[in-house]
């Protein structure tokens, strides 16, 4: 029977986090690793524990009068609740190193993300098997696994990471560790362009309660062997696992702000154009409900901020190209039942420092920042890969939109960084084209991972 105690916490709820470290590793000594893993398993945070942690954080915050953030798990206010989480996941190469050679039945996972770089539109040179993506060297080497460590402070996370490394020592080589941080003060819960993130994730059938406007997805879209996925042929050890996509996406924030201001001519115009790119204002308020001005009360209201649908072939309120419309075109031409098969559970966190005064003034990035993008699904071709390649990069998506929308202005990619033409950017003339000479989000690499169930970790991988 299905139990939250069998699933890793980040998959179903998102580990609560103020900060998060991703420790990428290579398995050097297989037997030693499998033995060490036995001792690590008690540290792994289950979905059941995560659910408990989130409710404890919410209760504590309510008691001391701190507003809670809905959405992607729960950010932890430092010094409110000391909490940390640990999850672990393996690449296809990692699984085969351990000896799990039976394939999980997802060919994209099997080949790894590097093989997808060209198709995804990640900048690079060459073609086909000689494609060289401009990725960080860290992601061009063979990665076997990743440990996710979350917590309320760097201190808590560093201490936990040390325990994890001590337990695995001698059997792995730490390749590199990346730190993500929730942004400070009033930017908490907002990504680096300034837009509130983590508002809209689907509810998993039988797991989550529903908010107005939220879609419910089949359990099998999130977990192997459940719901509709139970009819697929999978190895027994896949049950209650999920596929995790990791992507390091750098964001050029001062350049983005400068482009909007230069193009729109005023701050108010820039704010509107930026909101049109996203489909939401910085507060999170959706354009479909508040098309001409931000509404902070609406943005903060989880009962209303996700309760809308787009109107087919109508972009008077929200452009076809808007990021949230490209990613979840609810109400557009795809039937809801079809759309639900393409929903992902997003668990990202921003990385890098706040924009400095010097960067603001010059309109040029000097310190790298962006999003450590993480999402879960059971089918990469129906999930992340389709969303990035088939929808964000596809100038004609959503189908039946006229005039042609162009790419998602935020995450749409062309591997040669060529100019992109979009329509719908100007509220007063939605057919007027706009040429985007630059990209403001660049992929620095990543990998596809399998996040096993707790029983699989215990009984199959550890020994």
d(CA 206, CA 211): 14
Does 308 participate in binding ligand N7H (rule CB under 6 A)? no
Note whether 195 binds ligand N7H by CB under 6 A: yes
* Number of residues forming the site for ligand N7H (CB under 6 A): 26
Task: Please state, in angstroms and rounded to a whole number, the distance separating the CA atoms of residues 372 and 351.
Answer: 6
Q: 197, 218, 257, 332: which is the annotated catalytic residue? A: 197
Whole-angstrom CA distances from 393 to 74, 139, 436, 441 are 31, 22, 14, 13
DSSP per position, 353-404: PPPPHHHHHHT---S--EEEEEEEES-TTTTHHIIIIIIIS-TTPSTT-SS-
Please choose, out of 23-31, 181-189, 196-204, 394-402, the segment that lies near ligand N7H by the rule CB under 6 A: 196-204
Helix-strand-coil split of the chain, %, nearest 5:
35, 20, 45
Least Å distance, CB 181 to ligand N7H, is 15
- Is 299 a binding residue for ligand N7H by CB under 6 A? The answer is no
Residue of 57, 441, 457, 461 that binds ligand N7H (CB under 6 A): 441
Q: Tell me the window of 5-13, 176-184, 189-197, 203-211 that interacts with ligand N7H (CB under 6 A).
A: 189-197
| Contact region with ligand N7H (CB under 6 A), list: 44-52, 57-65, 322-330, 418-426 | 322-330
Stretch binding ligand N7H (CB under 6 A), from 29-37, 84-92, 193-201, 417-425: 193-201
Query: Which of 83, 157, 249, 457 is in the footprint of ligand N7H by CB under 6 A?
Result: 249
Residue number with the shortest CB distance to ligand N7H?
200
Nearer to ligand N7H, 195 or 224 (CB): 195
Q: By CB under 6 A, tell whether 322 contacts ligand N7H.
A: no
What value, to the nearest 5°, has the Cα angle with vertex 326 and ends 321 and 328? 145
Among 15, 204, 207, 278, which residue sits at the site for ligand N7H (rule: CB under 6 A)? 278
At closest approach, how far in Å is the CB of 444 from ligand N7H? 11
Query: φ, ψ for residue 47 (rounded to 5)?
Result: -65, -35
Out of 320, 384, 397, 426, name the contact with ligand N7H by CB under 6 A.
384
Report in angstroms how near the CB of residue 137 gets to ligand N7H at its nearest.
Answer: 21
Smallest distance from the beta carbon of 195 to ligand N7H, in angstroms? 4
CA 412 vs CA 124, 153, 309, 450: distances in Å: 15, 33, 22, 26
| Residue of the chain from 109, 193, 351, 376 that contacts ligand N7H (CB under 6 A) | 193
> Are residues 156 and 173 in contact, defined by beta-carbon separation less than 8 angstroms?
no
Any contact of residue 213 with ligand N7H (CB under 6 A)?
A: no
Query: Which distant-in-sequence residues (6+ apart) come within 8 Å of 400 by Cβ?
Result: 312, 313, 332, 333
Which residue in 411, 403, 260 sits closest to 320, CA to CA?
A: 403
Here's the x/- map for ligand N7H, 38-67, by CB under 6 A: it reads as: ------------------------------
User: Which of 12, 47, 172, 324 is the binder for ligand N7H (CB under 6 A)?
Assistant: 324
DSSP state of 266: S
- Our finding on whether 198 is near ligand N7H (CB under 6 A) is yes
Strands 433-436 and 441-451: unpaired
Angstrom distance (rounded) from CA 137 to CA 445:
9
Judged by CB under 6 A, the stretch of 7-15, 39-47, 221-229, 384-392 that binds ligand N7H is 384-392
In terms of Cβ atoms closer than 10 Å to its own Cβ (0-12, 13-18, 19+), residue 69 is buried
Work out whether 270 is an interface residue with ligand N7H (CB under 6 A).
no
Does 407 bind ligand N7H (CB under 6 A)? Our answer is: no
- Is residue 166 annotated as a catalytic residue, yes or no? no
Residue 211 engages ligand N7H in binding (rule: CB under 6 A): no
Nearer to ligand N7H, 57 or 278 (CB): 278
Cβ proximity to ligand N7H: between 168 and 289 the closer is 289
Scanning 102-153, the segments in alpha helix (DSSP H) are: 107-111, 117-120
Integer Cα distance of 407 and 398 in angstroms: 10
CA angle 379, 151, 453 (to 5 degrees): 35
257 binds ligand N7H (CB under 6 A): no
Residue 433 is encoded by which pair of tokens? 């084209």
Q: How does strand 349-351 pair with strand 420-423?
A: unpaired
Smaller CB distance to ligand N7H: residue 25 or 384?
384
Question: Up-side HSE of residue 268: CA atoms within 13 Å toward CB?
Answer: 3
Q: Is residue 339 involved in binding ligand N7H (CB under 6 A)?
A: no
Q: How far apart are alpha carbons 207 and 280 in whole angstroms?
A: 27
| Binder among 411, 422, 427, 454 for ligand N7H (CB under 6 A) | 411
Residue ranges in contact with ligand N7H by CB under 6 A: 191, 193, 195, 197-200, 249, 251, 278, 280, 323-324, 327-328, 344, 346, 370-371, 373, 384, 387-388, 410-411, 441
Catalytic residues: 197
């Amino acid at each position: 029977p299905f139990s939250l105690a069998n699933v890793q916490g980040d998959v179903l709820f998102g580990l609560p986090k103020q900060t998060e470290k991703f420790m990428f590793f290579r398995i050097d000594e297989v037997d030693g690793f499998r033995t060490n893993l036995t001792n690590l398993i008690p540290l792994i945070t289950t979905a059941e524990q995560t659910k408990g942690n989130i409710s404890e954080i919410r209760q504590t915050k309510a008691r001391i009068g701190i507003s809670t953030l809905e959405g992607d798990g729960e950010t932890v206010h430092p010094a409110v609740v000391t909490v940390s989480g640990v999850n672990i996941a393996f690449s296809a190469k990692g699984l085969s190193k351990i000896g799990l050679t039976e394939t999980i039945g997802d060919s994209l996972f099997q080949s790894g993300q590097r093989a997808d770089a060209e198709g995804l539109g990640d900048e690079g040179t060459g073609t086909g098997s000689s494609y060289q993506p401009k990725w960080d060297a860290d992601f061009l080497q063979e990665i076997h696994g990743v440990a996710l460590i979350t917590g309320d402070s760097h201190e808590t996370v560093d201490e936990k990471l040390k325990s994890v490394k001590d337990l695995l020592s001698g059997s792995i080589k730490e390749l590199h560790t990346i730190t993500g941080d929730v942004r400070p003060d009033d930017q908490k819960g907002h990504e680096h362009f300034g837009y509130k993130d983590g508002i809209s994730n689907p509810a998993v059938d039988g797991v989550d309660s529903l908010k107005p406007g939220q879609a419910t997805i089949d359990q099998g879209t999130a977990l192997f062997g459940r719901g509709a996925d139970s009819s697929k042929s999978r190895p027994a050890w896949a049950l209650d696992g999920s596929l995790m996509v990791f992507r390091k996406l750098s964001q050029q924030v001062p350049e983005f702000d400068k482009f909007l201001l230069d193009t729109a001519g005023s701050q108010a115009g820039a704010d509107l154009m930026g909101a049109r790119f996203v489909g939401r204002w910085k507060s999170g308020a959706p354009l479909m409900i508040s098309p001409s001005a931000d509404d902070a009360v609406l943005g903060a209201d989880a009962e209303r901020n996700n309760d809308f649908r787009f109107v087919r072939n109508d972009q008077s309120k929200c452009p076809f190209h808007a990021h949230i419309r490209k990613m979840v075109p609810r109400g557009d031409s795809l039937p809801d039942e079809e759309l639900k098969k393409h929903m992902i559970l997003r668990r990202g966190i921003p990385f890098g420092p706040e924009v400095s005064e010097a960067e603001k003034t010059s309109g040029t990035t000097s310190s790298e920042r962006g999003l450590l993008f993480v999402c879960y699904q059971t089918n990469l071709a129906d999930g992340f890969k389709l969303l990035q390649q088939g929808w964000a990069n596809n100038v004609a998506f959503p189908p039946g939109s006229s005039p042609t929308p162009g790419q998602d202005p935020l995450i749409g990619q062309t591997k040669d960084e060529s100019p992109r033409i979009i329509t719908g950017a100007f509220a007063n003339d939605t057919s007027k084209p706009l040429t985007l000479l630059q990209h403001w989000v660049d992929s620095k690499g990543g990998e596809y991972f399998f996040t096993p169930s707790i029983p699989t970790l215990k009984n199959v991988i550890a020994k």
